A and B are shown apart, each in its own frame.
Chain A
Amino acid sequence: MTDQSLTDHPRTAPSPAAPSPAAPSSAGPSPAGPPVAGPGGAGAEERHEEFFAAVSDMDEHRAVDVVHRALDDGLAPESVLLEVIAPAQARVGAEWAAGRFTVAREHAATAISDRAVGALACHPAARTEPRRGRATVTCVDGEWHAFPARLLAETLKLRGWRVDFLGAHVPTPHLIAHLHATGPEVVALSCSLPVRLPTAHATITACQAAGVPVLVGGAGFGADGRYADLLGADAWAATATEAADRLERHGPLRLTPHVPGDPLAPLPHLEDQEYTLVSKARADLVGATVAGLGERFPALRDYSPRQLEYTREDIGHVADFLVAALYTGDPQLFTDFLGWTVRILGARGVPAHSLALGLELMAQQLRDFPRALALLGAGRAVVAAAGTDAEGAA
């Protein structure tokens, strides 16, 4: 398909969960989200440009310098965080989506933004006495997009919370041990990719079982947070500001102390076992689909081993989103991802018919799974429509 894995997702790219071509900035890293107009005003905007230039050049020292100067000049630390650093990071993601940044460059930019956030936290202007409760900010296990969570952690610190930031890819047992040891008032859980929703569900349930309410955020929960409710989160916030406001307004979220109930209740469709069976058969499904592509798509035979591996990864991500859609029972999760993938392919000049073919091959293997077949059917319709649009535009 391409000479790079499409779905080797960048660290903060606009996630496939929030594909919104009309408003690329809104597809930025939630819960940080789009910049909020604040007292920083034009100053913040200029500095944002400067900062973006620095991270684009992978120049850590210049990036840190921009942050220090902004703080020295009296710009509020929260504005620097959410109006200078966050939007720049969202742009990095957009650059990647448009095919102008490699994943590695995007990755480097994120690492530098992260350092810049660290520099901000050490600046005297950002020093805040903890005057509120304790909060734990963490990412779902398997989640590498730690940056949005980091922004939230720093925002909460600036608002006077005692924050424990556990970072990316936190195994749930570590998180729960941490909750027992520190007893925070709330866990803020970030999930950027909907494929992690089953894991997120397990984490939310575990935190609540440990007596701590969970506020969730991140593009993985849907642009409108619809999966937050489905998975029983106590609250959802679209942006870091919203999350901080939510915690401030309502004080500690009072968890309705629920005696553990039937975990299947919100997801009655799981009874058909399709999620379990398809996720278990993932490796076979991907292998057979790639083999089928080789037969039907002659160009694949000339691919280098590296290119073949990328193709396998891409098909693997399609399978992951299919599995996540089976878990949530929401076809839009799958169709949104495919729509996004078609656009990404388009940005790299790759036609979408190999994707359509991949979906067809998957459907052939999942004949006994009515829900999976319905999802694949809806997916093919989306890809076909997008293909027609592209031709029309050409």
Chain B
Amino acid sequence: MRETGRRPGAASALIVTSPHRIPEPPPGQAAGRHVPGAAVGASVLRALVEDGPALVVCDTEGGVVFRNSAAETLVPRLRDARRLASPGVPQWLSEAHARGAATAEGPAGDREVTATRSPLPDGLTAWRLADVTEERTACRRLADERGRTRFLALASARLLASLNRSKCLQTTAELAAGQLADAAVVVAPAGRRRMTLTGAVAGDAPREKSLPAAADVEEVPGLAEALAGFPPVPSRWVDPALAPQWLLPPGFGELGSLVVTPLPGNGVPAGALVLLRRAGSPAFTEDEEVFARVFAARAGAAISAAVLYADKNDTTEILQRDLLPPPLAPVEGLDLEGAYRPARAVERIGGDFYDVHPCTFGEGEEGTFVVLGDVCGKGPGAAVLTGRIRNTLTALRQVESRHDRLLRLLNDTLLRRQGADARFATMVLADATPLGHGRVGLRLTSAGHPAPLILRGDGRVEEAETRGTLIGVVPSVTSTTWETVLEPGETCLLFSDGVTEARGGASGNEMFGTQRLSGALAECARMPVRAVVERVEMLTAQWLGGNEHDDIALLAVGAPRGSHLTAVDGTGRGRYTG
């Protein structure tokens, strides 16, 4: 193989006679006129090459033997370069030439250029150069755009998932740190004069802390404006030297650049997003800032939805508190256990209720007053009336201890207060008095309510013989009260018709019924009240087998079983802890 030199007679498309230019056409071939049948002349070739894509021809030593004007435009320094390895000519090209690469690419000035080698005769090599700047930029934009769309879809899915404020803030910080910066901090208002900082360093779990007492959001230029939420403010560059230490997540390192972007919420300012990049990382481009704002808009909407949900939730919790069955505090000499399951799974309140109060009966006799009832209807509407009944009974119980008179007073009160949303209620009142030696005296009165069942020590189940008019319908109500004594280990079960009228079983539509309830109770002889209530609740639920049901309330009053209680004198004062 010949290394150098040219064969003068070589039939080549390119007749190279000078290292710089295609030769002028010989005089016989006038420019512009082609002789039919003749070979393509040098003038045609010259035009083809000169107007064609950028081309550089080199010898094996890397000497530039030819370049066309397109190549000179792309790499101006080629005009005078005798060798590829000259200053101003891309180094990557001469290196590719030297190592015999088929293709190469790299920057040439502000352009992106690809080079493709074509071997020529005489040991020459042509490098075709192409300016791919626009194409590459478009591809990169497309890829970026796709990446951002993917990120926004993921971000939306994750942000939409939770209605928890902290979770939303953490997700925002985590997503922003992963995609937009080296770290992100979400500064968000948390109630009066309080701020939280939720920071995340890319790759780490986000952490929430309170804004230190000594710190002020005014220390970060633009942060206070961004936190105000409206009018919209552009994201703002901040001199990293001005960033206070409290803003940086622990272990972040040296700050290079920082941008503050508002998190516009739905009417409620959700906070501000601070994006941080380390020293050495590229600063934010305008494009990135715009994208950060798009992300911030979505995150802000999710956060303010969560804040709104939390506010409503807090309000509901407070309003519900008094409508929920009370926690049963321990009472000396008495075992109490309740269970409550509202009809609608999404609600915690319903039309069934129970309540327990320590009180005195008549002549200084102390005990516990228990009521379990059922307001017609379900859901919050019924629950509001249960609250009214409970409050009224608590107050009336202070002045009246006789059940029949108590029910009459309650009936009068309800009839007077009820308007358009007239509802009636049924209930059972019970006075439980520890009698000493583990025995408990019971006084039971039903007002239109299923009579309580008493489980005796030997497994017999008795129905309390009490009946009475339901409350809230007719002006005059009557009732009979029944008294009994629970021996140690015996239990009285108060229940609502949600238990006995539960429809299910094998056919799916049979009522659980009082008989089945008695049968279930009979198997619970001498069991702790808690187990009795749980067992009845479980059997009812199994009977329902997933069917819809009415509100269910259970309350068991038991005479404690066990020797320790026999030592307690039944009449002294100060025995009641509940």
Contact = CB atoms under 8 A, between A and B. Distances in A.
Interface of A: 8, 11, 58-61, 102-105, 107-108, 110-112, 114-115, 142, 144, 169, 171-174, 177, 179-183, 209-212, 251-252, 254, 257, 259-260, 283, 286-287, 290, 306, 309, 312-313, 316
B449 interface: no
A180 B163 contact: yes
B528 A111 contact: yes
Nearest to B166: A183
B346 interface: yes
A107 B527 contact: yes
Contact of B158 (A103, A105, A173, A211): A211
A182 B346 CA distance: 17
A104 B527 contact: yes
A364 B313 CA distance: 53
A144 B541 contact: yes
9 shortest interchain CB distances as A-B pairs: A183-B164, A111-B531, A211-B161, A171-B345, A180-B163, A211-B162, A108-B527, A173-B346, A259-B157
A155 B143 CA distance: 49
Interface residues of B, number: 42
B378 interface: no
Given A104-B523, A144-B541, A286-B506, A251 B310 contact: no
Contacts of B157: 257, 259-260
B506 A210 contact: no
Contacts of B542: 8
Contacts of A254: 205
Interface in B138-170: 153-154, 157-158, 161-167
Contacts of B306: 180
B42 to A, nearest CB: 65
A210 to B, nearest CB: 6
Contact of A257 (B154, B535, B562, B564): B154
Which residue of B162, B309, B526 has the most chain A CB atoms within 10 A of its CB atom?
B162
Given A59-B562, A142-B541, A259-B154, A112 B528 contact: yes
A107 B534 contact: yes
Given A181-B313, A290-B506, A115 B530 contact: yes
Given A142-B541, A173-B346, A211-B161, A111 B205 contact: no
B345 A183 contact: no
Given A108-B527, A286-B506, A180 B534 contact: no
B524 A111 contact: no
B299 to A, nearest CB: 14
B171 interface: yes
B167 A211 contact: yes
A284 to B, nearest CB: 9
A337 B538 CA distance: 21
Nearest to A111: B531
Interface of B: 153-154, 157-158, 161-167, 171, 205, 306, 309-310, 313, 345-346, 348, 505-508, 519, 523-528, 530-531, 534-535, 538, 541-542, 546, 561-562, 564
11 contacts: A58-B527, A103-B523, A108-B526, A112-B531, A172-B345, A180-B306, A210-B161, A211-B158, A211-B162, A211-B171, A252-B205
B541 A174 contact: no
Given A59-B562, A209-B161, A211-B158, A107 B507 contact: no
A259 B153 CA distance: 8
B162 A183 contact: yes
What DSSP secondary structure best describes chain A's contact surface?
A: helix
Nearest to B306: A180
A268 to B, nearest CB: 24
A108 B531 contact: yes
B341 to A, nearest CB: 8
A75 B63 CA distance: 88
A305 B184 CA distance: 69
Contacts of B530: 111, 114-115
A292 to B, nearest CB: 14
Nearest to B171: A211
A210 B163 CA distance: 8
A343 to B, nearest CB: 23
A108 B508 contact: no
Nearest to B342: A171
A11 B531 CA distance: 10
A210 B523 CA distance: 42
B498 to A, nearest CB: 15
A241 B179 CA distance: 37
A104 B535 contact: yes
A174 B341 CA distance: 12
A275 B179 CA distance: 43
Contacts of B205: 251-252, 254
Contacts of A60: 528, 562
Nearest to A133: B205
Given A102-B523, A260-B157, 4 more contacts: A59-B562, A108-B527, A110-B531, A142-B541
B356 to A, nearest CB: 19
A138 to B, nearest CB: 14
Given A104-B535, A306-B519, A111 B527 contact: yes
